[in-house]
Amino acid sequence: MDVQISTAARLHFGFVNLSLSHERLYGSLGVALDEPGMVVEAAPEDATVVEDPELRPLVERVVSLLEVPGARVRVTETYPNHVGLGSGTQRALAVLASVARAHGTEPDVRMHAPDLGRGGRSGVGVATFEDGGFVLDDGHPTGRFTTEPPATGDWSVPRVAVRHDIPADWRFLVVIPENERGRYGAEEDRGMRAAVERADPALSDRIAGLVVRRILPAVTAGDVSTFGAGVSELGRLNGRWYAEEQGGVYRPPVGDLVTELSREPAIEGAGQSSWGPAVYGVTDADNAAAARRAGTDALEAAGLDGEVIVAAGRNRGASGSR
């Protein structure tokens, strides 16, 4: 049977802890967005049929994991790779789910995600694929951190510690400048290792208080102003861990964009998603138009081309049709 899986981007606000002095490492916060989206289609075949050569290794890996003879797979809607919006995880899991359903089975995406190289640090991408919403995951045991990264699949995806629906009137400005992509693969691994090995545990303590006393209560209360200020501060504190790796608290030119967005009264907080270069701003439906204009103006002030999106939160996981 032919199957279509639809999913969408996520924002990654940052980690709770990068210090080896504390029991749990990482622990990440993020939200699912209703756009930009991704659609993957699959049909059962006796061999692997993929037109995109870059997609073929992923499909072949999925076919092997699921122990099925093959599949015809294509991505009909997507968004840019390596910009901080989680396209790699969404694509991998959408291919997994579509191929499995094309062969009449329901995949355990959380179980298979590590075999696809996903969920090694953050669990937000997997969790938002499953159920959407605002997510805080519980990270990994610090004792698992060694001088060499684990082999692909040799980890479990961090469990969801907190999940809440995103209030219906909240909106997220997403600005994607057209410049060098964010870190990924071996370069990302090196950067994260360097940040962890020298992380100040005092920052982790400050972030823990920020999460418990400001961010989580703001989500449950639907307080967009406190939430925006909270995740913006979370991003600034995370940036102090990464400053030597990315050339500042924010990766250039993200800092210029964040500064411009922070001056706009319609935006409650701004920051960098993951390694960037995508920048987010927190706002609401009443201020969405002003926030969009601010995003366009910020790109212009920085002398950059790029894309500006205003998205609602997504409170459901990936959806499928046949």
Encode pLDDT of 34-71 as tens digits: 999 999 999 999 999 999 999 999 999 999 999 999 99
pLDDT of residue 36: 98
Mean pLDDT value across residues 78-99? 97
**What's the pLDDT band for 125 if we cut at 50, 70, 90?**
very high
CA-CA distance, 44 to 186, in Å (whole number)?
Answer: 33
Mean pLDDT value across residues 169-190? 79
**What's the pLDDT band for 322 if we cut at 50, 70, 90?**
low
pLDDT of residue 149: 61
Q: Which of 58-62, 94-98, 252-256 has the lowest mean pLDDT?
A: 252-256
Q: Which of 7-11, 207-211, 235-239, 248-252 has the lowest mean pLDDT?
A: 248-252
CA-CA distance, 17 to 180, in Å (whole number)?
Answer: 27
Closest CA relative to residue 14, chosen from 163, 122, 159, 175: 122
- CA distances to 176, 256, 270, 278, 309 from 242, rounded to whole Å, are 20, 17, 17, 16, 26
**What's the pLDDT band for 176 if we cut at 50, 70, 90?**
very high
pLDDT of residue 127: 98
Mean pLDDT value across residues 196-211? 94
Q: Of residues 148 and 88, which shows the higher confidence score?
A: 88
Closest CA relative to residue 107, chosen from 67, 53, 156: 67
Quick check: 182 pLDDT over 60?
A: no
Q: What is the pTM of this model?
A: 0.94
- Report residue 298: phi and psi, to 5°: -65, -40
Q: One-letter amino acid identity for 8?
A: A
| Tokens of residue 180, six digits | 């060098």
- Report residue 317: phi and psi, to 5°: -80, -170
CA-CA distance, 283 to 87, in Å (whole number)?
Answer: 23
pLDDT of residue 194: 85
Q: One-letter amino acid identity for 50?
A: V
Chain-wide mean pLDDT for the chain?
Answer: 93
Q: Residue 36: is the preceding peptide bond cis (ω within 30°)?
A: yes
pLDDT of residue 77: 98
Q: Of residues 261 and 151, which shows the higher confidence score?
A: 261
pLDDT of residue 275: 87
DSSP secondary structure code for residue 159 in this structure: P
pLDDT of residue 33: 98
The CA dihedral of 301, 302, 304, 305, to the nearest 10 degrees, is: -40
CA-CA distance, 104 to 140, in Å (whole number)?
Answer: 33
Mean pLDDT value across residues 129-158? 86
Domains in the chain, ordered, with CATH?
3-321 (3.30.230.120)
**What's the pLDDT band for 181 if we cut at 50, 70, 90?**
low
Q: Using DSSP bridges, classify how beta strands 48-49 and 71-77 pair: parallel, antiparallel or unpaired.
A: parallel
Q: Which of 150-164, 173-187, 242-256 has the lowest mean pLDDT?
A: 173-187
pLDDT of residue 106: 92
pLDDT of residue 188: 66
In this structure, are residues 64 and 158 in contact, taking their beta carbons and an 8 Å threshold?
no
| Tokens of residue 295, six digits | 């995003």
